[in-house]
Structure 1
Amino acid sequence: MTDLDAVTGWVEGYIRAWTSNDPAEVGALFAEDAAYYTEPHREPWRGRDAIVAGWLARQDDREWSFTWFPVTVGPDLSVVQGVTVYPRKTFSNLWLIRLDTVGQCREFTEWWMEH
């Protein structure tokens, strides 16, 4: 069952991977057969290897900060709202996170809108 501690741990791991762009840290976030939707209606990156490759192809090496809070945490779906601030742009983020029983993400969808 997913709880707030599991979601918090996963988001903290995501932030570490976002900061480092380390393939092992990115891969550790996701189940072997996970799906990562970079936009809600686009085909996802499917499988851990594809997720790591997609992440590294678009890695974010700019200066940024990210704040977040849970909107809802449930046994199958958790929703996180965040704000990403870059030097010249700010984005609102909404993440749909489906964790498995070991705390890896099996499905992730991100929405983002520029302020």
Structure 2
Amino acid sequence: MTAPGAYNGAMSDAITNWIDLYRRAWESNDPDDIRALFTEDASYRTEPFAEPWDGHLEIVEGWLDAQDDPGAATFEWRLLGQDGPQYFVEGVTDYHAGPVYSNLWLVRLAPDGRAEEFTEWWMEQDDDGDE
């Protein structure tokens, strides 16, 4: 796994910046940091078939309802691929006092670098390290 925020090549500049901002919002839980990640009409799905949080109001409310405490987890990621503005990201979220999750993110970025669509899959890893 690439170190958090590590440079993954030319195609990853936009997604690297976006993930850096996502991690800042994850740590701060500041509504302005959260809003800065998404277009006004963005769609955020916490799992592929969940009803999305649509627009800034729902995204901020949903995020804050499920927020983590600052410093509660580490996140490592790598870019799996890109198709135009759509990025495919593999991650690992390690909660210091809890489980470890394998993550898959689909992020569609607008030309200004904010996400228009975000869908995440998260799967708890087995205690013995098997995924």
Question: Does 1:27 pair with 2:17?
Answer: no
Structure 1 Cα separation of the partners of residues 94 and 59 of structure 2: 24
1:82 corresponds to: 91
User: Is contact 1:69–1:81 with CA below 8 Å preserved after alignment?
Assistant: yes
User: Is contact 1:33–1:106 with CA below 8 Å preserved after alignment?
Assistant: yes
Query: Share of identical aligned residues, percent?
Result: 50
* Count of residues in correspondence between the two structures: 113
Q: Provide the aligned C-alpha RMSD in A.
A: 1.0
Query: Residue 75 of structure 1: CA displacement?
Result: 1.2
2:115 corresponds to: 105
2:5 corresponds to: none
Q: TM (normalized to structure 1)?
A: 0.94
1:11 corresponds to: 19
| Corresponding residue SS for 1:32 | strand
Q: Which sections of structure 2, spanning at least 5 residues, go unmatched?
A: 1-10, 126-131
Q: Which sections of structure 1, spanning at least 5 residues, go unmatched?
A: none
Q: TM (normalized to structure 2)?
A: 0.83
Q: Which runs of 4+ in 1 moved over 4 A?
A: none
Query: Residue 74 of structure 1: CA displacement?
Result: 2.6
| Corresponding residue SS for 2:13 | helix
Instruction: Describe the superposition over 1:43-63 as per-residue Cα deviations: whole angstroms up to 9, x where unpaired.
Output: 100011110111011111161
1:56 corresponds to: 64
| Corresponding residue SS for 2:112 | coil
User: Is contact 1:67–1:82 with CA below 8 Å preserved after alignment?
Assistant: yes
Ranked by relative contact order (alpha carbons within 8 Å, sequence separation 6 or more), the top structure is 1
Higher gyration radius (CA): 2
1:91 to 59, 83, 101: 101
